[in-house]
Copies of this chain bind each other. A is one copy, B any other.
């Protein structure tokens, strides 16, 4: 009780402690989440995903700096850096250290690294829970940063209202590097390290894959800067992912990128997309919690010996997993 009050009052130490409890899925963490839940729903969740070597972390730093400097609407920013492929490496910690230089000492910024724990559903779920705590704690912008372009990143990106996909020139095979699957979830595309050779190739590959991913849209180029325009046949209110070029290490392109992100938020509010994404996110979170509760309840109600007996039958190939489950479910009518 006290801890959630401290978090709501902006106590950073209490916040850090609570995030650890939530990450470790302790009973205290769960209780706090329930207490904090009514205070959530205010933040703009921004997902940033991209392969290693794209300079994604620098870009996130630049965005955070921009939001902090912005005279008009200085915002409190939290960053959750998720590295699902790294259960215990120091990578995330290293990232934090680099960040410290630019963002240290600013109470309006909170950075949290999360290494993967347990199963995959688990990562997305844990990230969602951390995000809720930060949302309740009053951070208006929450950036969820994920490494890579695998399914896990897609799942985590789906937590966000606005998803940025970051690419960079010269990262191996263009066909492999720029996945149509990841483009499907992109609301804003960023080619970072745009001062490097090969940027035209990256942009071309991105653009043609983007057209593949959004066959009803047409992506065009205006005034030297790349923007998307609706094709004549598309419905009004349809969002077309713009392509931005940035050089994060020099801060180039961040204001324009932040503008696009703000436009996307405005678009979501106008089109009803904001509520739809909230619904999708909370719906899948509810489903995930439900799944966990169901399997936990199942194991609580079945005799361990019976379960092991059935596992043995599967191992000896006398029962297929599907037959085994049928048999387990028939036997466990509570």
A residues in contact (CB < 8 Å) with B: 30, 33-34, 37-38, 40-41, 52-53, 84-91, 94, 116, 119-121, 123, 147-155, 171-173, 175-177, 179-182, 184, 209, 212, 278-279, 282-283, 285-287, 289-291, 293-295, 297-298, 310-311, 314-315, 317-318, 320-326, 328-329, 333-334
Residues of B within 8 A of A334 (CB): 333-334
Do residues A154 and B85 form an inter-chain contact, with CB atoms below 8 A? Answer: yes
A326: B residues at CB distance < 8 A: 293
Q: Is the interface of A mostly helix, strand, loop or mixed?
A: helix
Partner of A89 from B116, B153, B180, B325 at Cβ < 8 Å: B180
For residue A58, give the distance in angstroms from its CB to the closest CB of chain B.
12
- Contact A123 to B151, CB < 8 A, known contacts A184-B87, A286-B314, A322-B289: yes
Q: 5 closest Cβ contacts across the A-B interface?
A: A150-B150, A53-B172, A37-B320, A52-B176, A89-B180
* B151 close to A85 (CB less than 8 A): yes
CA distance A285 to B311 in the complex (A): 10
Shortest Cβ gap from A225 to chain B (Å): 27
Between A53, A283, A291, A320, the greatest number of chain B beta carbons within 10 A of the residue's beta carbon is seen for: A320
Q: Which one of B121, B184, B286, B291 lies within 8 Å of A324 (CB-CB)?
A: B286
Q: How far is the CB of A216 from chain B (nearest CB, A)?
A: 15
8 Å CB contact of A317 from B37, B87, B153, B328:
B37
Contacts of A37 in B (CB 8 A): 317, 320-321
Chain B residues with CB below 8 A from A295, complex form: 287, 290-291, 294
